[in-house]
Structure 1
């Protein structure tokens, strides 16, 4: 599906580069200064290229607001320090099951084989990691833990395929945040790129690509706000307010976003930047562009858009403007985490009819995927009194993080429906009492060892719920107390060896590359915490190396 983006123009086509008066010339131009862009810049600089990077804002993108988790394994030195055994083969087997062929086996194998070296490479550029580890399953570990199972590795169906290992590496308090000890993944990379001579064009929006007659991409037209002007300062102010308020007051954030765009439209000045070797598109996905979500994946519109103002699909549209093909644009990940508290995961998740449809111990994105595809985004968690009070003990402030315990506490104490019997609860939430009773009886029979669970849930993670009272907690896609974050996974199709953008016929668009969530990559089928960041590093370095090596 071709999509016309309201901030992207058709490409400028030249007979010869000499036909245009260029404002600046560089070897490699990168559009988007987030996780993929900064790693592409560092790799291209390592290859000796003159690199410039363009960003609508001040850099960072979604990488700068994530949980600072990178999925890495195969025996990283951090895993070894923690006493964790892992191999590239086990990592490959697990990810092959999760990614379902979204990339070829050779590409996935290269990713796994190079994972340990990627951690060393990141450390070289200032990112710090620790080996403090937990082997318990959690959506995000408590403070002080920096290595954990960030996917469904512990689930029996996956554990049969590959030996489980914690691979979620959390960056910690680098030099920028030493005072607070908060994680910091992006800032050290940004500072390393700038220190190595990468030229930044910030508060600058890429609006169209420039091509030679044969179709090769040779540059970018940008619109940049004058440095240190009042317009630039106001633009930065409103852009930051938009991102700061997005999670709490989306309407107010949209107002600030429109103010920033109006300033850019009125005051930004055109610049023509030439790329001798290549242009890399790495400006993120499109979750903040609700028109694009509506066009490609409307079932996810009610979820919380997780990203920054730059996640508007502009990089994808730039690639499409010169004939780039897209893939998996209908794939959006929805994160329905219910652990912590672990007691919730020992309860039952049911659809609007009162029937279970998923193993509640799976990783949150796997639960969210099932919720959206099998239950139309509508889901209820059912627990009994025993599990409720166990859950409350598990979310005491020193056992969980604020973003975990506050919504869980409010949901149980103020938002839950209660019934003395399961039939009374079913009536209160509009479900068929007979269906809910049958679901509960089947669940309890599995706990007693009378049958296998229909969804492969381990009996050790189940709780007999013969006795009430019972509680129903709404955990649907549109829940405001327990928001369900969503993130786009599709993007431009690329050559998996080089990162070059592909046309519909599979041929490469010379001079054009894509990386991160602007491109189809390892994380484009199913989400595992840290896998998108890891793919940004992998695909960013790939594009940077190949673009810099073009002669």
Structure 2
């Protein structure tokens, strides 16, 4: 008798069609209407990045029945496909082969709690970390390959625990998971925009979808109603490309910042869930990646190139030729210090980052960056100083000071860990840097098993789940590098078990 009580609520989801969204003046309204279902599936997953693909794959492994994945854009993968392919895994086989035997999920979470600056959720982070190795092994089973012998200590981590895909892209993970899901019988629909949820009281029973949707036109496509027998999983990522939401939640975001996200990261489904009573947290916590380059748009190659600089090279201000930060700290710290470099008119004074070319002449991170002109090979300190209008004497003095600290294995200026720092000498690989808006720490509040909580009573909203960047309150003020892939894949495993238990 479920259809008798179904109501279609027209809330924020209907109003937030795209980047030029407007917000409803009043709370969500409802109109009595019998829903004629066009299709029925056991599990409906919204989003096809790491989280959505893992949830789909593991839903099939848990024998949850028919699984439908809805992706509003024309391609599978979302932000995950353009991710840099970094994956934090305590006690991964490469780490163990390197002789690092004292890592653990607890050690990873300890680093994440520090990065979260008192605002992170230890229970949520532990739930994710406990599934790190299983997520890695599942990647390998699905055909994902990782760089041989590559395991690195990245910003904010106290140990080397980050592996990386062979070609340095998250697309290697999303493509392999997609192919596996297709073999399992998962149904994928692209250009499918979820306009609203169908609720029976506080229980979600289905979704209203526009098929053949043309981004960002919220009125395009043909409407269908999809019934979900066992649950709807929100795996839509963040909203960093939605300028309306960004400015609403954090008007302090620097207008000089570009954004690394795919164009579809606009957050409509999160807002739709909120209009139906889902609790949101930390929506103003929007992270910037300190590894951006003003010489390329979007995610680009700078993330990969600077993974060398942070360890081996140095960053200096073009204003005085001096270092101004610990290059190996987390994103929030580094972004704030980089963006403090300003000319008197407050325009960006893009700092430069560099390392030894002869240490990496054939590295694809170098060849790609130089090819695409977001980095340059410079044969002397004088050439570098002239190119970026820096006092050559000051620049040389600070390189000499860096080399002294390398020899001493101690950085008295900023406390940088110097174990991987190199003595710098020309020729150099040089790039300019500037932060880019990258990740939303805020989103829907869930329990540790992925169930969405209601704002009215903090209870569970039946059959509604959220995982990955669409959730909030997990990472606190900033997320550590290499943990997005981990969270999405791990919570896909967790939520599939949750749905099975609930069903």
On whether the aligned pair clears a TM of 0.5, the verdict is yes
Q: Decide whether aligned partners of structure 1 residues 45 and 329 sit closer, same or farther in structure 2, where only a CA change above 3 A counts.
A: farther
**What is the rounded CA distance, in whole Å, between the counterparts of 1:55 and 1:33 in structure 2?**
6
**What is the rounded CA distance, in whole Å, between the counterparts of 2:400 and 2:139 in structure 1?**
51
**2:334 matched to 1:367?**
yes
Secondary structure of 2:414's aligned partner: coil
Q: Decide whether aligned partners of structure 1 residues 189 and 445 sit closer, same or farther in structure 2, where only a CA change above 3 A counts.
A: closer
**What is the rounded CA distance, in whole Å, between the counterparts of 2:321 and 2:50 in structure 1?**
42
Using the TM superposition, name which of 199-208 and 320-329 deviates more: 320-329
Secondary structure of 2:462's aligned partner: strand
Map 1:523-542 onto structure 2 (within 5 A). Answer: 523=475, 525-542=477-494
Q: Decide whether aligned partners of structure 1 residues 441 and 261 sit closer, same or farther in structure 2, where only a CA change above 3 A counts.
A: closer
How many equivalent residue pairs?
A: 461
Deviations 1:482-522 (A, max 9, x none): xx443122332322322122344533333322111111264
Q: CA deviation at 1:224?
A: 0.7
Q: CA deviation at 1:437?
A: 12
**2:105 matched to 1:105?**
no
Q: Decide whether aligned partners of structure 1 residues 12 and 279 sit closer, same or farther in structure 2, where only a CA change above 3 A counts.
A: farther
Q: CA deviation at 1:20?
A: 1.4
Normalising by structure 2, we get a TM-score of: 0.75
Q: CA deviation at 1:107?
A: 2.8
Q: Decide whether aligned partners of structure 1 residues 170 and 32 sit closer, same or farther in structure 2, where only a CA change above 3 A counts.
A: same
**What is the rounded CA distance, in whole Å, between the counterparts of 1:391 and 1:439 in structure 2?**
15
Could you say which structure has the higher helix fraction?
Answer: 1
Deviations 1:367-408 (A, max 9, x none): 22543489799455468xxxx7x6343453447443444546
Query: Residue in 2 aligned with 1:51?
Result: 67
Contact between 1:282 and 1:315, CA under 8 Å: does it hold in 2? Answer: no
Using the TM superposition, name which of 310-319 and 373-382 deviates more: 373-382
Q: Decide whether aligned partners of structure 1 residues 474 and 340 sit closer, same or farther in structure 2, where only a CA change above 3 A counts.
A: closer
Q: Decide whether aligned partners of structure 1 residues 401 and 216 sit closer, same or farther in structure 2, where only a CA change above 3 A counts.
A: same
Gaps of 5+ in 2: 1-11, 292-302
Secondary structure of 2:205's aligned partner: strand
Partner of residue 507 from structure 1, selected from 456, 459, 467: 459
Secondary structure of 1:272's aligned partner: strand
Secondary structure of 1:185's aligned partner: helix
**What is the rounded CA distance, in whole Å, between the counterparts of 1:419 and 1:401 in structure 2?**
21
Partner of residue 437 from structure 2, selected from 486, 491, 506: 486
**What is the rounded CA distance, in whole Å, between the counterparts of 1:130 and 1:83 in structure 2?**
18
**What is the rounded CA distance, in whole Å, between the counterparts of 2:17 and 2:211 in structure 1?**
18
**What is the rounded CA distance, in whole Å, between the counterparts of 2:359 and 2:45 in structure 1?**
45
**What is the rounded CA distance, in whole Å, between the counterparts of 1:92 and 1:288 in structure 2?**
29
Contact between 1:34 and 1:282, CA under 8 Å: does it hold in 2? Answer: yes
Secondary structure of 2:334's aligned partner: helix
Q: CA deviation at 1:534?
A: 0.8
**What is the rounded CA distance, in whole Å, between the counterparts of 2:81 and 2:179 in structure 1?**
13
Partner of residue 455 from structure 1, selected from 414, 428, 439: 414
Query: Residue in 1 aligned with 2:153?
Result: 149
Map 1:289-438 onto structure 2 (within 5 A). Answer: 289-297=242-250, 298-324=252-278, 325-336=280-291, 339=306, 342=309, 346-350=313-317, 357-362=324-329, 366-372=333-339, 378=348, 380-381=350-351, 391-394=356-359, 396-398=361-363, 400-406=365-371, 407=373, 409-410=375-376, 425=390
Q: CA deviation at 1:269?
A: 0.8
Q: CA deviation at 1:533?
A: 1.1
Contact between 1:44 and 1:544, CA under 8 Å: does it hold in 2? Answer: yes
Query: Residue in 2 aligned with 1:496?
Result: 447
Secondary structure of 1:95's aligned partner: helix
Q: Decide whether aligned partners of structure 1 residues 29 and 81 sit closer, same or farther in structure 2, where only a CA change above 3 A counts.
A: same
Normalising by structure 1, we get a TM-score of: 0.69
**2:167 matched to 1:202?**
no
Gaps of 5+ in 1: 135-146, 159-163, 174-180, 226-231, 236-259, 478-483
Query: Residue in 1 aligned with 2:203?
Result: 216
Map 1:88-103 onto structure 2 (within 5 A). Answer: 88-103=105-120
Q: Decide whether aligned partners of structure 1 residues 273 and 359 sit closer, same or farther in structure 2, where only a CA change above 3 A counts.
A: same
Q: Decide whether aligned partners of structure 1 residues 118 and 417 sit closer, same or farther in structure 2, where only a CA change above 3 A counts.
A: same
Q: CA deviation at 1:203?
A: 1.6
**What is the rounded CA distance, in whole Å, between the counterparts of 1:394 and 1:67 in structure 2?**
22
Q: CA RMSD in A?
A: 4.4
Partner of residue 165 from structure 2, selected from 167, 170, 173: 170
**What is the rounded CA distance, in whole Å, between the counterparts of 2:86 and 2:420 in structure 1?**
26
Query: Residue in 2 aligned with 1:238?
Result: none
**What is the rounded CA distance, in whole Å, between the counterparts of 1:28 and 1:14 in structure 2?**
26
**What is the rounded CA distance, in whole Å, between the counterparts of 2:98 and 2:419 in structure 1?**
26
Q: CA deviation at 1:195?
A: 2.1
Q: Decide whether aligned partners of structure 1 residues 84 and 545 sit closer, same or farther in structure 2, where only a CA change above 3 A counts.
A: same
